[in-house]
Chain A
Amino acid sequence: MSPNDPLMTSLALDVAHLFAGGLVVVSFMLLYQDRMTAVINIFALHALVVSLSVAWQAAIQDAPHLYITAAIALVVKAVVIPLALHRIVMRLGIHRTIEPVVGTGLTMLAGIGLVALSIMVMLPITQQAGTLAREDLSFALSVILLGLLLMISRRNAVSQVIGFMSIENGLILAATAAKGMPLVVEISVAFSILVALIVIGIFLFRIRERFETVDIHLLHEHRGEQP
């Protein structure tokens, strides 16, 4: 089937749309987790979904250079970085429980608000584009905003790095959803190098768990009783 076959086109666009929606769901799953290993594994899933999405876009847009981006996302972000982060967590003895600033429920509610906001922003300004592309762009913006939310709602350096990387995944999704964006491969390589350097930096400079003080009383919070 050629990419111009109408039956193929609508199914193909639906699948691409499904990948974008799936990325939003995985971003919510990142917000939901309360253990470090789970966050890192879900991030690996996040990167996997992005690489599948980019590979699918490469197939239906007939743009083979996107395969390289997909491969980079898969190898670097779905395999290498999660493994490295797992080792960091174990070596540095970072506290395995993630402490959110406000409860999970409120964070998820804020997440919904952000998705609504990105839809409200994106849909009116992209009137000329096709419907599916507009919604893919709003999903991509949601992923970016949810990544930012992850960064600001956790007290833990590793989860902030993961938030940053999920922002990057959102940008890749946006870039590939809009057909014909130039320099996608180059930009994704550059971002990946940036992230690798940050992770190495954590490892080398042994930046410990949090930028705020550790208080024993904080441990009591997680037996369920609020102060």
Chain B
Amino acid sequence: MLDALVQLVEMLVVLLFAPLLVGYVRKVKALLVGRRGPPLLQPYRDLLRLLRKEVVLAHSASWVFRVTPYLVFAATWVAAALVPTFATGLLFSYAADMIAIVALLGSARFMLALAGLDVGTSFGGIGSSREMMIASLAEPAMLMVVFTLSLLAGSTQLSSIAAFMQGDVGLRVSLALALLALGMVAIAENGRIPVDNPATHLELTMVHEAMILEYSGRHLAMIELASHIKLLLYLSIIGCVFAPWHIAVSGQGSAAYLTGLVVYVGKLAAGGFLLAVFETAIAKMRVFRYSDFLGAALMLGLLATLLRFVSRVT
């Protein structure tokens, strides 16, 4: 019973905190460059505003275009709800392990890329083709990180990995490499600088924004919410694997859950701060350097997996 409640709270936490996280990152970025920045709750206001607006559909848009926002939202939300944020041992964590979570995000991306091609403009095509190119390198890199973690923990379930990392793991080279690779993949997948700029609509800097350029109204609200949830998901994965302190294990009582929740908010704040600092400090790279960047992430992941295969210690 308590497990079901924890799972429900987890799903709500993921849904409700995501826009707050994005608002926080934007605020920190603004403060770092000397501006006041938008209020913390602005993303909620943006979503509500979009919900009230009329949807404008292009004449050539098909049912794929209309169905995609719901599918993208659903896939991303389900994936995020299966990542331990403040508690492990979620009721349905056996339904999907890390490989399945990566694949769920891949489904969302597949539908979004199709929606980009649906209307038949060149902007949508730019976004879709660049997004699939990024995915063709980022997804293997992510899978290499998953391999490293699961070879270490003896399981591909995120709950088991989190529980293992809470134990006595020590400093390992393969984990450091996996962390680096995961960070690079997270930046690429969420469309943050240096891979994509979520704030502009210039052709040179659009990948995600180009795919969703035609969306408006409630459809756009769902897609924006899905991308906020995706950022939360990646930060949660990094938090639960590499900073697994105070994640409540099932059966520890409600005090542990509350502590876990508070510490989780702190982890999000720290992660968001680091992301904002990184984005402010670095410039966006050219599109055709993406392959070098993600290739480096893939190499790091491969090196980490290789070390796990050959060594007993690293």
Binding site for B on A (CB under 8 A): 10-11, 14-15, 17-18, 20-22, 24-25, 28, 32, 104-105, 108-109, 111-112, 115-116, 119, 123, 131-132, 135, 139, 224
**Could you tell me if B295 and A104 are in contact, using CB atoms closer than 8 angstroms?**
yes
**Could you tell me if A135 and B296 are in contact, using CB atoms closer than 8 angstroms?**
no
Alpha-carbon distance between A21 and B180 when the two chains are bound, in angstroms: 12
Secondary structure of the A contact surface, majority rule: helix
Residue B21, interface by CB 8 Å: no
B contact residues around A119 at 8 Å (CB)? 306, 310-311
**Could you tell me if A132 and B299 are in contact, using CB atoms closer than 8 angstroms?**
no
Residue B102, interface by CB 8 Å: no
**Could you tell me if B306 and A21 are in contact, using CB atoms closer than 8 angstroms?**
no
B contact residues around A109 at 8 Å (CB)? 299
| Other contacts beyond A14-B170, A108-B292: 18, CB < 8 A | A17-B313, A21-B176, A21-B177, A22-B173, A22-B176, A24-B303, A25-B176, A28-B296, A32-B296, A104-B295, A108-B295, A112-B303, A115-B306, A119-B310, A131-B311, A135-B313, A139-B173, A224-B286
Nearest residue in B to A119 (C-beta to C-beta)? Answer: B310
Q: How far is the CB of B43 from chain A (nearest CB, A)?
A: 35
**Could you tell me if A105 and B292 are in contact, using CB atoms closer than 8 angstroms?**
yes
**Could you tell me if A32 and B292 are in contact, using CB atoms closer than 8 angstroms?**
yes
**Could you tell me if A28 and B311 are in contact, using CB atoms closer than 8 angstroms?**
no
Q: How far is the CB of A138 from chain B (nearest CB, A)?
A: 9
Residue B240, interface by CB 8 Å: no
**Could you tell me if B303 and A18 are in contact, using CB atoms closer than 8 angstroms?**
no
**Could you tell me if B306 and A28 are in contact, using CB atoms closer than 8 angstroms?**
no
The number of chain B residues with a CB under 8 A from chain A is 23
**Could you tell me if A28 and B171 are in contact, using CB atoms closer than 8 angstroms?**
no
Q: How far is the CB of A124 from chain B (nearest CB, A)?
A: 11
**Could you tell me if B180 and A132 are in contact, using CB atoms closer than 8 angstroms?**
no
Nearest residue in B to A130 (C-beta to C-beta)? Answer: B313
Residue B312, interface by CB 8 Å: yes
**Could you tell me if B310 and A111 are in contact, using CB atoms closer than 8 angstroms?**
no
**Could you tell me if A135 and B286 are in contact, using CB atoms closer than 8 angstroms?**
no
Which residues of B from 196 to 235 have beta carbons under 8 Å from A?
none
The listed residue (B172, B295, B303) touching A105 by CB distance below 8 A is: B295
Alpha-carbon distance between A58 and B112 when the two chains are bound, in angstroms: 55
Alpha-carbon distance between A25 and B297 when the two chains are bound, in angstroms: 11
Nearest residue in A to B296 (C-beta to C-beta)? Answer: A32
B contact residues around A28 at 8 Å (CB)? 296, 299-300
Alpha-carbon distance between A116 and B302 when the two chains are bound, in angstroms: 10
Q: List 30 A-B contacts (CB under 8 A).
A: A11-B170, A14-B171, A17-B171, A17-B173, A17-B313, A18-B171, A18-B176, A21-B173, A21-B176, A22-B173, A25-B180, A25-B300, A28-B296, A28-B300, A104-B292, A105-B291, A105-B292, A105-B295, A108-B292, A108-B299, A112-B299, A112-B302, A112-B306, A119-B306, A123-B310, A131-B311, A132-B313, A135-B311, A224-B286, A224-B288
